[in-house]
Amino acid sequence: MRPVRLSVLTAAAVVAALTAVTGCAEKSDSAGGDGAIHVTATDTACEVSKKDFPAGKATIEVENKGAKVTELYLLFPDGRIVAERENIGPGTKATITAEIKAGDYEIACKPGMKGDGIRQQVKATGSGAAEKRSPEADAAVSAYRTYVQEQADETLPKAQAFADAVKAGDLEAAKKAYALSRIGWERTEPVAESFGDIDPKVDVREDGLEAGQDPAKDWTGWHRLEKSLFQDGKITDQDKKLADTLMADLTDWQKKVGQAEITPTSMANGAKELLDEVATGKVTGEEERYSHTDLVDFKANVEGAQKAYELLKPIASKNDPALAAELDKQFASMNTLLDKYRADKASYEFQSYESVKEDQRKELSDAVSALGEPLSKLAAAVAK
């Protein structure tokens, strides 16, 4: 986690304001010239009353005429959610409003609340034209969005295993599950941090608490449990409750992660931020000060950064081939170096950071600088 959050990724700038199901009276004036879009959803179709509408505040009214429960989404072309409404039962209506910039969008109905849904291309026109991105940029963002969601989805069961061990009072099992439960989070941390409230709940260190916060009452998340397990060597009743709190917060993350605003630039900067995390938290041994599992986080940060880079590589290698070659080289050296600290390259059983000597830490730090410096230039290379 970062003691001070200065994330480049900001929480979705396009705020989706979800309103309650509207009554019939309101529906009657939507037929007028107020610009509302009417969507008629069935089990097999998603009919849209108009495909062009003015940028600004958009109102979408949906009526579910099908037999299945449906969902309605307004999406950016890269699959990012502008606004959504779940759980629209057969025969009911719902309204979504959102502030949108000019540009291309998609409306999707999801009968049965599964799959990609039935999609319609729509367009907002007028002032404040949205940035037009290349198809390869959209592809990169879309693939990264999928990756981020997968990491959250895969983390939940691992975190549950950790929480279950804590709740069962099984110290050894909890210690074993601890670092593994954090990998998906560490790989995608800049995205998670974009939802300002989740990171301080799940990944704050004791010294990261704000003034006036009481460690006994206000400190939650992984590191609180880390201290109990690895330093105090015991699991309290409070810890068992905190395990449930952790799961609730991570479930919140899993739900929200699809809504993060992601752009090629924010992906590149997120990759750089992951290396910054390594440089300031892992190489120093501060992040995992009780468990000394810093190298697991280190590896996960590098993996997450590499994933973002690999997805942006088609753009980067076109705009700045020398930079791409350098990044390929430095990622390879970094991974080779990290492999020295684990016996089995397929596992995340890394050497305890306590046993990593000063000169080895310098070697790791030099490798982080060697990778972090060119990585800081990736955003400019994809923004060209």
Partner 1 sequence: MSEETSSSTGAEGPGDGSTRDGSTTGAPSRRAVLGWGGAGLALGAAAAGGSVAALRGGTETVPAGMSGAAVPFHGAHQAGIASAVQDRLHFAAFDVTTKDRAALVRLLKDWTRAAERMTAGLPVGEGAVGGLPEAPPDDTGEALGLKPNRLTLTIGFGPGLFAKDRFGLEDRRPEALVDLEQFPGDNLDPARSGGDLCVQACADDPQVAVHAIRQLARIGFGKTAMRWSQLGFGKTSSTTPDQQTPRNMMGFKDGTRNISGTDTAALDRHVWVGGGDGADWMTGGSYLVARRIRMHIETWDRTPLQEQEDIFGRDKAEGAPVGKPKEHDAPFLKAMKPDAHVRLAHPDSNDGATILRRGYSFTDGTDGLGRLDAGLFFLAYQRDVRKGFVRIQRALSKNDSLNEYIQHVGSAVFAVPPGVRDTDDWWGRTLFS
Q: Contact residues for partner 1 (CB under 8 A)?
A: 265, 268-269, 326, 330, 362, 366, 369-374, 376-377, 379-380, 383
Nearer to partner 1 (CB atom), residue 109 or residue 371:
371
Positive or negative CA dihedral for 51, 52, 56, 58? negative
Nearer to partner 1 (CB atom), residue 18 or residue 383:
383
Nearer to partner 1 (CB atom), residue 245 or residue 376:
376
Burial readout 112-134 (b: 16 or more C-beta within 10 A, e: otherwise): eeeeebbebebebeeeeebeebe
Q: C-beta of 338: minimal distance to partner 1 in Å?
A: 16
Helix, strand, coil shares, percent, the chain, to 5:
50, 15, 30
Q: C-beta of 270: minimal distance to partner 1 in Å?
A: 13
Nearer to partner 1 (CB atom), residue 60 or residue 268:
268
Q: Helix or strand or coil: residue 26?
A: helix
Q: C-beta of 379: minimal distance to partner 1 in Å?
A: 4
Q: C-beta of 314: minimal distance to partner 1 in Å?
A: 18
At position 90, the amino acid (one-letter code) is P
Nearer to partner 1 (CB atom), residue 214 or residue 359:
359
Please choose, from the candidates 81, 228, 116, the residue with its C-alpha nearest in 3D space to the C-alpha of residue 169.
Answer: 228
Cα distances (Å, whole numbers) of residue 280 to 1, 3, 274, 276, 283: 10, 10, 10, 6, 7
Structure-token pair, residue 131: 């940035």
Please choose, from the candidates 278, 293, 307, the residue with its C-alpha nearest in 3D space to the C-alpha of residue 369.
Answer: 278
Nearer to partner 1 (CB atom), residue 194 or residue 266:
266
The residues, any chain, with a CB within 8 Å of residue 198's CB and separated by 6 or more, are: 192, 249, 252, 253, 256
Q: What is the DSSP annotation of 124-151?
A: EESSSBPPP--HHHHHHHHHHHHHHHHH
CA distance 343 to 309: 27
Nearer to partner 1 (CB atom), residue 68 or residue 377:
377
Q: C-beta of 373: minimal distance to partner 1 in Å?
A: 4
Q: C-beta of 376: minimal distance to partner 1 in Å?
A: 5
Q: C-beta of 383: minimal distance to partner 1 in Å?
A: 4
Q: What is the DSSP annotation of 149-196?
A: HHHHHHHHHHHHHHHHHHHTT-HHHHHHHHHHTTHHHHHTHHHHHTST
Nearer to partner 1 (CB atom), residue 186 or residue 277:
277
Q: C-beta of 315: minimal distance to partner 1 in Å?
A: 13
